Amino acid sequence: MPDSLFQLPHEPGAQRYRPDYLYRRCEQAVEHWLKRARRISHSRASDLPMPEVEFNLRGLNAGMAVFSGRRTSPGRIRINEDLLRRYPREMIQHTVPHEVAHLVAYALYRKTDHGEEWQSIMRYFGKPPTRCHQMQARPARQHKKYRYLCGCQEHLVGAQINARIHRGLVYTCRRCAEPLRSAA
């Protein structure tokens, strides 16, 4: 993973942690909150199965609970790896219990929203039942643009057109009719 990750906003000291250490910390946190949830006074709470944790979420969401239709199946928690690397504290202390609370709310009450049941589980965890994070995520797809010039203006083109020009295709400016040439 390139260090350019940490040119984006991050918690102080976040660079110190290796990804596998952070994965393990996340899994331990999931286990911690699930064990806590098993003590909720509800007939099915003590049977709550341990979910799987995946670090394959991209985009703006910090985490995502994936519900399983079958009662015996635990569901999954998906964690945004980029945010985990840059905001390990926030992710482990808030995002993980937030997502565990979703799985628990679903297992016990069949609720998937941020309603009363989810909120009561968050309060049981001693966590504020807030839903939005302040971490600065980056969009899943970053459309890199390439700079070209003609006789009259700058053109920003996508990767596909950039590749075609490199293969020898000529694109001309509609305004001045000159061929685009790379500004790099």
Residues with Cβ within 8 Å of residue 139, at least 6 apart in sequence = 59, 60
- The C-alpha atoms of residue 6 and residue 13 are separated, in whole angstroms, by 10
Q: Are residues 86 and 96 in contact, defined by beta-carbon separation less than 8 angstroms?
A: no
CB of 63 to Zn ion, least distance (A): 8
Residue with tokens 């393990």: 24
CB of 176 to Zn ion, least distance (A): 3
Catalytic residue among 31, 99, 116, 178: 99
Q: Is 100 in the site for Zn ion (CB under 5 A)?
A: no
Q: Is 173 in the site for Zn ion (CB under 5 A)?
A: yes
Residues with Cβ within 8 Å of residue 119, at least 6 apart in sequence = 129
Site string (137-156) toward Zn ion, x via CB under 5 A = -------------xxx----
Q: Is 175 in the site for Zn ion (CB under 5 A)?
A: yes
> Interacting stretch for Zn ion, rule CB under 5 A, among 50-58, 88-96, 103-111, 170-178?
170-178
Count the site residues for Zn ion by CB under 5 A. 6
Residue 85 parent element (H or E): helix 81-86
- The C-alpha atoms of residue 64 and residue 76 are separated, in whole angstroms, by 8
Residue nearest Zn ion by beta-carbon distance? 173
Angle between helices 96-109 and 116-124 (to 10 degrees): 130
- Quick check: is 99 catalytic? yes
Q: Is 8 in the site for Zn ion (CB under 5 A)?
A: no
Residues that bind Zn ion (CB under 5 A): 150-152, 173, 175-176
Which residues are the active-site residues?
Answer: 99
